[in-house]
Amino acid sequence: MNKNVNIAIVGLGQIGIYLYNELNLKKSEIQKKTGKKIKIVAISAKNKNKKRRFSISKKIFYKNPLKIFEKEKIDILFECIGSSDGISKKLVEKALKNKVNVITPNKALISKHGDNLAKLAEKNKVNLEFEASVAGGIPILRTIKEGLATNKINKVYGILNGTTNYILSEMENTNESFDKVLQKAQKLGFAEPGNPKLDLNGFDAFAKIRILSALSFNGKISKNKCIMEGIENIKLEDIKIANQLGLRIKLLGISEIIDGKLFETVHPSLVSKKSYIGNVNGVMNAVITEGIPVGQSVLQGEGAGPGPTSSSLLSDLMSILRGNIKFPFGISSKKRKSIKPFDTNNYTNSLYLRFEVKDKQGVLSSITNRLAKFKISVDRIIQTPDKKNKKARIIIITHKTKEIDVKKCLSIFKNNKNILKFPTLIRLYN
């Protein structure tokens, strides 16, 4: 790469704007550390006339980002649009075909098309870097690719979404409902003001765990059907009960190799207050890897926002400027194989089950008998009557049981007239 490096930025949302400012502010520092002089020669966004803190020269603005490569010699492209298909995919593909290095925070794009894009990058001997796609400012992908490169990783898990972690933490701290805390998160910019669904339903964390899986286990990005649950059904009373039990609720992304097969999941989990993961609160993320010979490694930091994301984007930039041409997923695409999926029906967990029932004789025994029929052993029961409304709340903590048995058992409760609402299920994570 020449000493003079031309850069294009496509997408001027919060991240794109922050990145633009950082690149301009840190030009001299970047040159000092890499010997390369960077120059932003092209910018593309939906609306050129949108009010921003800086003006964009007409000379470098492109309404159609695909036209950039026809008029400019681009060395590095920052793709900051954010969608998995459409213009994002077309742009990155065109850049790689034109032997342009690509840096992106786009987890949706990488988790869906990362395998094909990696092949394209390798074919054209350029970099495809996506450190910012997982856990914001935490250098977890580079840690796995480089720092832990000689280790056999068998498990990676953690808190991968700052929005959900903030909501769960704030519900516990303030005793406010899910809806109220969500509104607060939106006002603070921690959750999308319009549609925060992808954070809340677990999709965001799931895209990240699939990227982590591919890197950790040297496999292709899986397309397996997996358990994916968000936090929309978590109530304040669940937070309070967990607290009484010495537990906290966290949305965990988990990926591990079980009997040579790949298991991936995202779901709310009850974790001990004394555990490390149980004390990662607010908008913080934490990723834990388990491997041989290193044992357990922990990385924690802010997982979202323009600042942490920009930090990871610039880290990728520095790597490319220093001449580190490497495989996007750590090893050659030719050597990455699909890993057979672990049957989620055999996934075992202790369970937290919350029932809202009619306060009448025989209801509790009917529930426990039903659980026993499906080999679900009860560890603990907490029953709280509401005599005024002739209801009762029953909390059941089970011993470890298979997912398939849980599904079959709970489906039957739908037809029980004494059970007022379908039971809330939260898995315990040990």
**Joined tokens for residue 210:** 């699939």
DSSP, collapsed to helix, strand or coil, labels residue 136 as coil
For residues 278 and 269, give the distance between their C-alpha atoms in angstroms, rounded to a whole number.
10
Q: Which residues contact 358 (CB under 8 A, 6 or more apart)?
A: 390, 391, 392, 417, 418, 420
DSSP, collapsed to helix, strand or coil, labels residue 43 as strand
Nearest Cα neighbor of 196 from 207, 185, 209 is 185
**Angle, alpha carbons 325-327-331 (nearest 5°):** 140
DSSP, collapsed to helix, strand or coil, labels residue 149 as coil
Torsion, CA 304, CA 306, CA 309, CA 311, rounded to 10: -130
Cα dist from 175 to 113, 154, 252, 316, whole Å: 41, 38, 22, 41
For residues 39 and 37, give the distance between their C-alpha atoms in angstroms, rounded to a whole number.
7
Catalytic annotation, pick one of 36, 208, 250, 402: 208
CA atoms within 13 A on the CB side of 25: 9
DSSP, collapsed to helix, strand or coil, labels residue 287 as strand
Tell me if residue 152 is catalytic: no
DSSP states of 353-388 as a string? EEEEEE--TTHHHHHHHHHHHTT--EEEEEEEEETT
Q: Decide if 118 contacts 326 (C-beta within 8 A).
A: no
Place of tokens 């004394």: 274
**DSSP state letter for 334:** G
Nearest Cα neighbor of 44 from 65, 72, 69 is 65
Q: Which residues contact 218 (CB under 8 A, 6 or more apart)?
A: 329, 330, 331, 335, 336, 337
Nearest Cα neighbor of 74 from 66, 84, 64 is 66
Residues in the chain: 430
Residues carrying an active site annotation: 208
